[in-house]
Structure 1
Amino acid sequence: MADSRAPRAMRADARRNRDRLLAEARAAFLDHGTDASLEDIAARAGVGVGTLYRHFPTREALLEALLRERFDALTTKARRLAGHSSARDALIAWTLDFVETTTTYRGLTAAVMATLRDPASALHASCEAMRGAGTALLIRAQEAGDVRADVAPVEFLALVAGVSWAGEQMAGGGLRGDRLLPLLFEGLERRD
């Protein structure tokens, strides 16, 4: 006898609706940030708001569907960089990618930081794995003597989130993460 608790395959029309919702959400978040109207997203996808909420019960669930792959890629990259010959270069490379990812949509930096404090959030597990992998790179750089030992992982993440937030606020204003991060790392370097 088949297990009645097994998840059912999504119907073709439901799959199309979900894919349209994701495409329109991506466009709306690019244009208007993470606070874009969910009702507008549903309308642009040609479905009712109830259909949106059936697929994505919360804004965080919609963001999770769009971002999980990116956050998982950051986690994978951090693990791959753990074997890099320069702990400092590995940390910088990962941090540049982190800033690029978290500035994809205006408001995303704040959403990621809030998600890390909320275990019930749909994005929490992906964000936590990403943070853990980045923390391992930080600790490796500290052990190599490349980064000050008195910088706690939560402080490092806050600094990097600050760079992301600044880049987000100054989009188009010439403020770039690839310029700010070297300045940040100069401040993090161990001074004897």
Structure 2
Amino acid sequence: MSAQRADWQRNHQRLLEVAAAVVARDGAGASLEAIAREAGIGSATLHRHFPSRHALLDEIFLDGVTALSRRADEPDDEPGRALRRWVEELTAYAASTRGLAATLATERASELDCRGILFDAATTLTRRAATTLRPGVTATDLLRLSTAISTATEGDPDTARRLIRLALAGVSLEEREPS
């Protein structure tokens, strides 16, 4: 590996660590200039590593989103239960990960596209659970519910879980009390 490439990777990792800390503290709207300053670099260097705010946020959240996406592929004999559990986990994760809900609510995609990764997982689970859902319920509907609830409950994953359970009870064909 060349010295320049190793230096670029060190700077990239340092920027990512600093950005994650600043976003955790200040939210998704954190100043890119503040991130660059705290990382000890210029804003032009930050933009060479991350061409947009969305690209930076996607990379910050990629590990957690990827883990959630893999959960969608886990086998479950009850597709409706698997869908409900996954949407609940997504909602609690987004509520406890400052800035994620705001990132997921945006329409712009980056190369990593956390939103797209989650949409694919939600679509897979929604298709499997279609017979347990009210007619017309889509993966997009469930992701919007999750985003709205996690945005409203940022920092409070317990409340996020309770509210998404209530919402999911409303889209389910099963008549039951939410837990």
Alignment of 1:72 onto 2:39: no
Give the partner amino acid of 1:49: S
Question: Are 2:108 and 1:118 equivalent residues in the alignment?
Answer: yes
Cα deviation code 1:19-74 (max 9, x no counterpart): 11111101000000011111111111111222211111211121122122222222
Decide whether the 8 Å contact of 1:33 with 1:106 is kept in 2: yes
User: Which of 143, 149, 155 is the equivalent residue of 1:163?
Assistant: 149
Distance 1:49 1:104, change over 3 A: farther
Identify which of 92, 116, 120 aligns with 1:132. 120
Matches within 5 A, 1:24-103: 24-80=18-74, 83-103=75-95
TM-score w.r.t. structure 1 length? 0.78
Query: TM-score if structure 2 supplies the norm length?
Result: 0.83
Percent identity of equivalent pairs: 34
Give the unaligned 5+ runs of structure 1: 1-7
8 Å CA contact retained: 2:87, 2:142? no
1:139 shift after superposition = 2.5
Q: Is contact 1:75–1:133 with CA below 8 Å preserved after alignment?
A: yes
| Aligned mates of 2:54, 2:70 — CA distance in 1 | 22
Q: Distance in 2 between matches of 1:10 and 1:61?
A: 22
Which amino acid is 2:24 matched to?
L
TM-fit CA distance, 1:13: 2.4
Matched, 1:141 2:129: yes
Judge conservation of contact 2:134–2:172 (CA < 8 Å) in 1.
yes
Equivalent residue number for residue 167 of structure 2: 184
* Alpha carbons of structure 1 residues 9 and 65: separation in structure 2 relative to 1, 3 Å: farther
Any conservation in 2 of the 1:64–1:123 contact (CA below 8 Å)? yes
Counterpart contact for 1:34–1:105, Cα < 8 Å: no
Q: 2: CA distance between counterparts of 1:25 and 1:190?
A: 43
